[in-house]
Amino acid sequence: MASKELALRHDEPNLARLNLVLAPNRTELYEWARHIAFDAIGGVSVRCTAPRNALVPHGVDNDILLGLVNAVVLQGMPEDDTVRLTTRELLQLSGITPSARAYRNLQASLRRLQHTAYDVTDSWYDGSRHRWRSVSFSLIVRLGAEDNTADVTNAGQWRAQTLLAIRLDDSLISNIRAGHILPLDFEMLARLSQPLTRNLFRTLSFQRDQVGQEPVLAFAVPLNTWATHLGMHEMRLDTVMRSLKPAHEELIAIGFLREVEYRGRGRARTVHYTFASAKSAAVDPEAIAVLARYGVSGGRALTLAQAYGSEAVQRAVSVLEALLQTDYRSKIRNRAGMLSDILESPEKYDTLLRAAEKTTDEARVAKSAPAADKSEQADPDTATVPRKARSAHVILLGQYDDTAERRDLRDRATALYVEGHVSSLDLIGLLHQETAVAQAQIEMWEQNARK
C-alpha cells in the first residue's frame, strides 16, 4: 500500500460525535447517562450500562474501536459484518505498540465493547437512510478468538498470532458501508501520547469536518457540558481544566489546534477552540462509486478516493477507458488493479497510452490497405479497435453532456478524435475544464486540423 494511503484512517461520525467510550484512562463507573446539547446539530441522549461487576468502556477502548472501524474499511466492508485479523494487526491499526501487556489489555477492551449495552435516543444518524434514529446495541455483537499454534501451555492467553473474528453492530457497519465516514489524520493521531488526548482529537475533528459540511475555524462549548460529554463525571471544573491542559498543549504542539481559550466564570465558563487549519479531506461519494463500478473493493475504493481525490480518480478512469480503445486492451486482465496502479503512477500510464495509441493507429492504417485480408480481423483479441464517437464520450465521462453549448464542444472534440487529429490524452485534458477554456482548446485543434 502506498505511503500516502497509510497516513489515512477513517472515523465513523456517530462514534466521533456521541463519544460512547469515556475519555479518562480510569473509571469506576458501571453505567452512565448523558442528555446534553453541545453543538449545532442538536441534542445527544445516550445511556450506557455494563454487566454486573464490570466497568463501562473507557480510555484505550476508544483506540481499539477506531482500529476496528478501519479494519472494516480496509477489508472492504465484509458481507457478514465480521472482520478477521490477528491481535497484532488490530493493535497496529489502533496505533498501539504490540506487547504482552497490550494483548491482555486488548482482551479486556474487546470484552467491555462486547458486553456493554447502549441506548441511543434520536441521536444516531443513519447514513444509508439519511435520518436520525433511536438504537439499542452493543458495539461488538460476537467475538471469536483462535490460536493457530499447537502451544496450549497458556490456554486463553492471547498473543501476536491469535486470530480474531469480530462482528460489529449492523447499525455501525451499514453506516460505514454507505460511506458515512470521516477522514482522520492517522500520522497526527499517532503522535498523541494519551487516550484522553486522542479522544479529544477525534471529537474535535468531527466538529471541524462534519460530513457534507464546510470545515469550521472554531468551536465553542460550555465547559461543564464538555466535561460531561468527555466522561469526566462529577469533576470540579477546575479539575477538568487541569486534566485537559496537557491534552490541549499536545494538540497545539502537533499543529491541530492554534489556540484554546476559556471565557466566563463558574458554571457559565466556556472553552473556545481555534483550529490551526480548516483543511478538509472529505471523501467524494461519486469518486467511490466510480471506483466501485470498475470492481475496486469498498475499502480500497474509500482509501483511493481519500488519498487522490475526485479529479484524479476520474482522470484515471479516462486513461483506463482510453487504453481499452487500443490494442493494449487484450493485456488488461484486472481493471480494478490497473485503475489503482494508474492512480499511483499516472506518468507511467500516460507514456503507455501514447505508445499504445500510436501502435493502434499504425495498425489501423495498415489494415485499411486494399490488400488487407479480412479473415485477419476475425479474432476480437487481435482486431484493431476503430476510433468511435462513443469511445470519445466514454473518455470524457459525460462531463460535456449538461448543456447545449457543452454538448456542441463535445461533438466537435469527438469528431477531431475520430478523424485522428487529437489523441486520447488530448481528450482527457478537457476533463474539469471550464467552458471557455475548453472552447479555446478545441478551436486551436480545429485550426491545426485544417492546415
CA angle 242, 244, 246 (to 5 degrees): 85
Please name which of 345, 326, 327, 323 lies closest in space to residue 335, comparing C-alpha atoms: 323
- pLDDT for 154: 62
DSSP-based three-state secondary structure for 408: helix
347-363 per-position pLDDT tens digit:
999 999 999 888 887 88
Answer with the residue of higher pLDDT: 290 or 264. Answer: 264
Q: How far is CA 214 from CA 16, 279, 310, in A?
A: 17, 9, 17
Report, as an integer, the average pLDDT of 82-98: 92
Task: Please compute, for residue 169, the number of CA atoms within 13 A of its CA located in the half-sphere on the CB side.
Answer: 21
**DSSP β-bridge partners for residue 263:** 270
Distance of CA 10 to the CA centre of its chain: 5
- pLDDT for 1: 35
Please name which of 396, 394, 408, 392 lies closest in space to residue 432, comparing C-alpha atoms: 396
Average pLDDT score over the chain: 86
Phi-psi region of 3 (alpha: psi -120 to 50; beta: other; left: phi over 0): alpha
- pLDDT for 288: 74
| 215: exposed, middle or buried (Cβ count in 10 Å: 0-12, 13-18, 19+) | middle
Please name which of 299, 291, 383 lies closest in space to residue 342, comparing C-alpha atoms: 291
Does residue 5 register a pLDDT over 50? no
As given in the structure block, the three cell numbers for residue 404 are 447545449
Are 427 and 395 contacting, i.e. CB atoms less than 8 angstroms apart?
yes
Report the 10 Å Cβ neighbour count for 419.
10
Does residue 372 register a pLDDT over 90? no
DSSP character for 215? P
Q: Is the dihedral of CA 247, 252, 256, 262 positive or negative?
A: positive
**Whole-angstrom distance, CA of residue 393 vs CA of residue 168:** 43
DSSP-based three-state secondary structure for 158: coil
**Whole-angstrom distance, CA of residue 228 vs CA of residue 240:** 10
**Whole-angstrom distance, CA of residue 116 vs CA of residue 261:** 35
As given in the structure block, the three cell numbers for residue 354 are 501514447
Report, as an integer, the average pLDDT of 126-134: 90
Least confident range from 22-26, 99-103, 175-179, 388-392: namely 175-179
> β-strand 182-185 against 8-11: which pairing, if any?
antiparallel
**Which amino acid, residue 337?**
G
272-323 per-position pLDDT tens digit:
999 997 554 556 667 777 787 888 876 677 677 777 888 899 999 999 999 9
Spatial CB neighbours of 136, under 8 Å, sequence gap ≥ 6:
117, 118, 119, 120
Does residue 212 register a pLDDT over 60? no
- pLDDT for 257: 94
DSSP character for 386? P
**Whole-angstrom distance, CA of residue 396 vs CA of residue 412:** 13
DSSP character for 376? G
* Helical pair 170-177 and 61-74, crossing angle rounded to 10 deg: 50
pTM above 0.85, yes or no: no
